[in-house]
Structure 1
Amino acid sequence: MIKTIIFDFGDVFINLDKEGALKLALEKFEITELDEELQSINALYEQGLISTDEFLEFYADNFPRLPKDELKSIWNYIIKDFPEHRLQFIKQLAKDNNHQLILLSNTNELHIDYIKKNVSFYEDFKNCFDQFYLSHEINLRKPNADIFNFVLTENKLNAEECLFIDDTLENTQTAQQLGINVWNNNPAAEDIVDIFTIKNELF
């Protein structure tokens, strides 16, 4: 019996363009791939271990042709639309009050600030959850096991009574190894609003 549903944010509720964002970044930076240093800086920022100013300063130093406003635009390009039917879905789930609802997202300050500015119903969405965990605020990130153990411990949860939903396979693999039920959703073909049909064997 599932008592707690733990949701990812990007490509579960809000649509992302990961491929387009990477392509744009490589073009603007005039590189062929994100090297280990860039990936490391991105991960540190996502985990809240460096500030937004430090993050932008790093990119400005490495790509001095690009002003900081353009760097922000490149970084936020990944964020697309938030279909309102998904808001209605989570509001109904909160109203029904049959499950504890937790959001667990790898999200950095620039992205969440952009979403707050451009998604008019962000606060309504956030208020649907019993807990709302963003990686840069808790200094932990998926797919590391410690972020899942943090959620389980903080909320006194039994792993087998939880369902974790995420579009990234390595994230759901880690959760599954800890005994959490998972749905590795495919954003191109599946919608979170169909959870009770797709994962009906768990409910």
Structure 2
Amino acid sequence: MINTLIFDFGDVFINLDKEGAMKNALNLFKVESFENDMLQTNINYETGKISTPQFINFYLSKFPFLNKEDIIDAWNYILNDFPKQRFDFVNKLSSHSNYNLILLSNTNELHINHIEQHLDFFHDFKDCFNEFYLSHEIELRKPDREIFEYVLKKNYLKPNECLFIDDTKENTDTAEAMGFHIWNIDENTEDIVNLFEVKKELF
């Protein structure tokens, strides 16, 4: 029996422009691909190992022809719209069901600050969840087993009583191997508002 729903944030609730953001960044940085030190810095930032000033200063030192605003704008380029019907869905779920609702997102301070500033209903959205776990705050990230173990232990959960929804297959693969029910949602063809139709066999 499912008693807990664990949701990713990006491309589950808020739409992301991953391809556009990558093209924009590569053009801005004048490189053909992200180098290893850039990838590691991004991971360090996403897991709270470095601060926002340290993150920005890394890119400024690597690309001195850019300024702080260039870096921030490029980093936040990925963030797209948040369809209101998805908020309405989880808000209704929070108000009219007994499910334990958890958000589990790989994210960072700049992204969350940007969303807070530009999304009128962000705080109402956040209040829909019993727990709201952000990777940079708990210093763990998907797809590592440790982040799932953290959520289970903190909330006294059993994996087989949880449904984990995420658009990234390596994240749902880890969860599935640990005994979670999963929905590897396709952001191009599926929508979280149809959860109970798509996964009706679980409910």
- Secondary structure (helix, strand or coil) at the match of 1:146 reads helix
* Counterpart position of 2:96: 96
* Counterpart position of 1:61: 61
* Counterpart position of 2:160: 160
- Secondary structure (helix, strand or coil) at the match of 1:25 reads helix
Superposition pairs of residues 135-150 of structure 1, within 5 angstroms? 135-150=135-150
What's the offset of the Cα at 1:97?
Answer: 2.6
What's the offset of the Cα at 1:113?
Answer: 0.1
Where structure 2 has 5 or more consecutive residues not aligned to the other structure, the ranges are none
Aligned partner letter, 2:55? F
* Counterpart position of 1:78: 78
Aligned partner letter, 1:21? A
- Secondary structure (helix, strand or coil) at the match of 1:5 reads strand
Answer yes or no: is 1:123 the counterpart of 2:123. yes
* Counterpart position of 1:39: 39
- Secondary structure (helix, strand or coil) at the match of 1:102 reads strand
Aligned partner letter, 1:185? I
- Secondary structure (helix, strand or coil) at the match of 1:193 reads helix
- Secondary structure (helix, strand or coil) at the match of 1:133 reads strand
Aligned partner letter, 2:7? F
* Counterpart position of 1:179: 179
* Counterpart position of 2:24: 24
Aligned partner letter, 1:157? L
Range 90-99 or range 153-162, more displaced? 90-99
CA RMSD of aligned residues (A): 0.5
* Counterpart position of 1:106: 106
Provide the TM-score with structure 1 as the length reference.
Answer: 0.99
Identity of aligned residues (%): 54
Q: Distance in 2 between matches of 1:97 and 1:54?
A: 42
* Counterpart position of 1:170: 170
Q: Distance in 2 between matches of 1:33 and 1:70?
A: 18
Q: Distance in 1 between matches of 2:35 and 2:56?
A: 17
Aligned partner letter, 1:56? I
Ranges of 4+ aligned residues in structure 1 off by more than 3 Å: none
- Cα deviation, 1:30-54, whole Å, max 9, x if unaligned, reads 1111111111000000001100000
